[in-house]
Amino acid sequence: METTEFIVAPTHLAEGLEFVRRKTGEVFDQLGQVVVGQEEVLQSMLVAVYCQGHALLEGVPGTAKTLMVRALARSMSLDFSRIQFTPDLMPSDIIGTNVFDLHRSEFILRKGPIFTDLLLGDEINRSPAKTQAALLEAMQERRATIDGEPYPLSAQFTVFATQNPIEYEGTYPLPEAQLDRFMMKIKVGYPAAADEERMLEVYNQGGEPHNVEVSAIRPVMTSSDVQQCQRVVKSLAMRAELVTYIRQLITATRESEDILIGAGPRGGIHLLLAAKATAAFAGREFVTPDDIQTMAGATLRHRLVLQPEAEANGLTTDDAVRSILQRVPVPR
């Protein structure tokens, strides 16, 4: 596998963007072997990885959320772990614990599933807040504390957590502090009719795209490649007017009559980074207002708390974001 190593400098930015574009295309080609459609969802997931963020995947069962994360990890040569969140899950089941070894007469560390690159937290809202909070330090600091001792996590540590939007019995809403740790909330909808028919035809022909381990999908990136893409994204330029535009959008969420609690500073940071990644996918050395508007919904929808009256009138956080995008002047 070809691996390119270089540090991004202004004179090398064009080369870096071509590297991102090529590698991203190769990843999409591999994902297309097991995932039909869902291009927008897959691109948002790549944005999270390239920006070293975390993403909450919300969709009804059977929309390939788990499959997409597993396939992404395989195509990018990243380690993968899964946690099935249940009401009886304990924090030690996530981060690990020290266990006494009778043969060696000493405690040994038994690491939990968070010691990986891509972590799938399946149905994260089925565990109580104490267990959910075990992820907070890991998501923010990329480390885990076990018996008072900090342990570093992978530099590529990324959480993709799933939740079902229609089941509320036996679930625990995610605390605001934890929601804010997620860079994006990605909505995973039903596939288009043509995509769903293609999917059925694959199974009709005896295919098993859900079985990533035996599929034809192959690694097309290394950990070094992923880090290089992350450096390229961070190095992209953003005009001062666009930085101001992002700040104005965030401020507007706090001043809207329909919103009880608006986005915090972290929301603006995540929107800025996501816009840079979107520009990089397009092969541009600069960010446009369209890049910001494209990522505004995914990066802000989960940070907003609507006024009760607005919710009673059927308003959603997506509606509120769209309204703000229409009101705030777009820089020329």
Domains of the chain (ranges, CATH numbers): 10-220 (3.40.50.300), 236-332 (1.10.8.80)
- H or E, element range at 33: none
pLDDT of residue 83: 92
d(CA 126, CA 254): 30
- Per-residue confidence at 168, pLDDT binned at 50, 70, 90? low
Tokens of 196: 């769903």
Q: What angle do CA 267, 270, 276 make, to 5 degrees?
A: 140
81 or 168, which is more confident: 81
Question: From residue 237, how far is each of 152, 197, 316 by CA, in Å?
Answer: 31, 42, 33
pLDDT of residue 230: 94
Segment 58-81 mean pLDDT: 89
> Comparing 207-221, 268-282, 305-319, which segment has the lowest mean pLDDT?
207-221
- Per-residue confidence at 4, pLDDT binned at 50, 70, 90? very low
d(CA 312, CA 180): 24
pLDDT of residue 192: 86
pLDDT of residue 243: 96
- In the block, tokens 């330029």 appear at 237
* pLDDT higher than 80, residue 185: yes
Q: How does pLDDT run across 93-149, given as a tens digit for each residue? A: 999 888 877 888 788 888 899 999 999 999 888 888 778 878 877 888 888 888 888
* pLDDT higher than 50, residue 269: yes
Pairing relation of β-strands 143-146 and 96-101?
unpaired
Q: Quote the percentage of the chain above a pLDDT of 70.
A: 92
Average pLDDT of the chain, as a whole number? 87
Does the pTM surpass 0.95? The reply is: no
Q: Does the CA dihedral 222-20-28-51 come out positive or negative?
A: positive
Segment 187-197 mean pLDDT: 87
